[in-house]
Amino acid sequence: MDTFAEQLVVKPMTPADQAKKFGLIAATGILCLGLAYLSVMVMPLILLVVCAVAYGGYFLVTGMNVEYEYSVTNGELDVDKIIAKRKRKHMLTVKIAEFETFGLESEAKFDNNITTFLVGDGDEAHYYAADFQHEGMGLVRLVFSPNERILEAIRPSLKRGLR
């Protein structure tokens, strides 16, 4: 029987992200106003530059909106990063049967030698951690926040000791 489940998770804005967004908006606004003031002298060229700066600012600010998509298909977990709903970046694919550990992140043992991917929704109470061996990065810990549907799709593919 084929299994398929997917979930979109919106990355929350941290205070640092909000400060960057505010700084970008302020810098774009100041630059546009300054260039508009100069447009009195060289009207057509500066007006074109103002439009380009405004679009560039919009592009950068909306590019800070990030979502993660988890999809479980026949025993494989795919994680993709979606930037501003216009660009998709594949992060990793792993066979669920290769998980060495799986469970709540709060119960996982901390280890400095593990490469960690945090792809969650900001609510740390229901983060899950999965440790597995990756051919390029060595031992990897994926920290993510699956919903119940994703968990139900993961459980049948886990090793017996992890269920």
Q: What is the DSSP string of the chain?
A: ---EEEEEEEPPPPHHHHHHHHHHHHHHHHHHHHHHHHTTTSHHHHHHHHHHHHHHHHHHHHTT-EEEEEEEETTEEEEEEEETTTEEEEEEEEEGGG-SEEEEGGGSPP-TTSEEEEE--S-GGG-EEEEEEETTTEEEEEEE---HHHHHHHGGGS-GGG-
Q: Is 36 among the domain residues?
A: yes
Q: Is 152 among the domain residues?
A: no
* Segments of the chain scoring below 50 in pLDDT: none
Q: Provide the domain limits for residue 19.
A: 15-62
Q: Is 93 among the domain residues?
A: no
> End-to-end alpha-carbon separation of the chain, Å?
19
Q: Is 48 among the domain residues?
A: yes
Q: Is 25 among the domain residues?
A: yes
Nearest to 141 by CA among 151, 150, 131: 131
What domain count does the chain have? 1
pLDDT of residue 19: 96
Q: Is 19 among the domain residues?
A: yes
Digit-coded pLDDT (tens) for 12-25: 888 999 999 999 99
Phi, psi for 25 (deg, rounded to 5): -65, -45
91 in Cβ contact with 117 (< 8 Å): yes
Q: Is 138 among the domain residues?
A: no
Total count of residues recorded for the chain: 163
Digit-coded pLDDT (tens) for 108-122: 777 777 888 888 877
Count CA atoms within 13 Å of residue 8 on its CB side.
8
Residues pairing with 71 in the sheet: 6, 78
Write down the pTM of the prediction: 0.81
Q: Is 27 among the domain residues?
A: yes
pLDDT of residue 111: 73
76 in Cβ contact with 4 (< 8 Å): no
